[in-house]
Amino acid sequence: MPIKLKSILGLSFLLMGGCSQLHHVHIGDIDQSQGTLTPFTIQVNELGFDLAKTAEIGAEVAKSSSTSEDLELVAFILAISNFGPKTGNPVYNDAYAAKVLAEVIKVCPSKKLTGLTSVREATNVGPVSGEVVSIKGYCINNNQTNNI
Amino acid sequence: MKKLFLLLTVAMLSACTSSIHMSQVDVGSNDANNVDIGKVIEIEKSQKNILGFVYDTDYVDLAYKNLLLECPNGTSMINVEYLTNHGFFSWTDKIRIKAVCL
């Protein structure tokens, strides 16, 4: 019974513990003098997965000591094989944000842009996360009244 | 045999992870921020980093010089991406620039 309660508690924390984390934000020039502004948002994301952390968790919860040792070894190998600075969890596709420039150009037919805000953030649920790059901004319409 | 299989699986799974640290898009502060979609150029420069030791520390400067060479009249829009490809006791820092030349 106590083990069951612990499992439920652990699972609840894992599911409810999802949280957003801001890594980087950049705000560009804002020009409100050229016409009405139409906001837009472009968001691309990729699954982030920390395999080493998962193996460590597995080693902690493994029942037999040999399994635990094996998983610790796996976590160590993964850690040394994926060396380097990390922002959020590692991803298996380094080109997921490659199309943001093309998307920004596509979303604004007038080709007049202002107030571009670039955000790098993540939503974490344990060792899994959604690694997000989003670009927010305003498309300047051709008439002369302001309307943010 | 089981451990060897496990090690091979781990080695295969561990390859090719990356981390994008920053990706920002900006437009010029010209009169109407009018993006004239001309030539779009792509520049990528990197530095290999082995256990924290690096030699080619000017990769960002090189990317910037290339940008100036390829867009001599300047840019109307630019996307800069900074990322790391992870490896075995080493990693590669990369800077990717996409720009719309004037």
Q: Which domain holds residue A62?
A: 51-88
- Do the domain assignments include residue A7? no
Does residue A96 sit in the same domain as residue A56? no
Q: CA B53, CA B91: separation in Å to the nearest integer? A: 10
Low-confidence ranges of chain A (pLDDT < 50): 1, 145-148
- How do the domains of chain B map onto residue ranges? 17-101
- Do the domain assignments include residue A56? yes
Contacts A116 to B, Cβ<8 Å: 25-27
pTM: 0.80
CA angle B76, B26, A120 (to 5 degrees): 155
What count of other Cβ atoms lies within 10 Å of the Cβ of residue A37? 21
- Do the domain assignments include residue A70? yes
Does residue A42 sit in the same domain as residue A98? yes
The two beta strands, B18-27 and B90-101, are: unpaired
pLDDT tens, residue by residue, B41-67: 999 999 999 988 988 889 999 999 999
Does residue A68 sit in the same domain as residue A78? yes
In this complex, the residue of B32, B86, B90 whose CB is nearest that of residue A34 is B32
What count of other Cβ atoms lies within 10 Å of the Cβ of residue A125? 13
pLDDT band at B2 (very low <50, low <70, confident <90, very high): low
Q: Which of A111, A119, A128 would best serve as a mutation to test chain B binding (most B beta carbons within 10 A)?
A: A111
Residue B100: pLDDT over 60: yes
Does residue A112 sit in the same domain as residue A146? yes
Helix axes A51-61, A65-81, angle to 10 degrees: 170
pLDDT of B33 reads 57
Does residue A125 sit in the same domain as residue A139? yes
Q: CA A29, CA A27: separation in Å to the nearest integer? A: 7
Q: How many domains would you assign to chain A?
A: 2
Residue B86: pLDDT over 80: yes
- Do the domain assignments include residue A97? yes
Does residue A146 sit in the same domain as residue A130? yes
The question of ipTM being above 0.85 is answered as no
Q: Which residues contact residue B38 at a Cβ distance below 8 angstroms, ignoring those fewer than 6 apart? A: B76, B100, B101, B102
Calculate how close chain B gets to A110, using CA atoms only, in Å: 8
Does residue A40 sit in the same domain as residue A98? yes
Last residue of a domain, one of A40, A71, A88: A88
Is the distance from CB of A96 to CB of A44 less than 8 angstroms?
Answer: yes
Residue B83: pLDDT over 90: yes
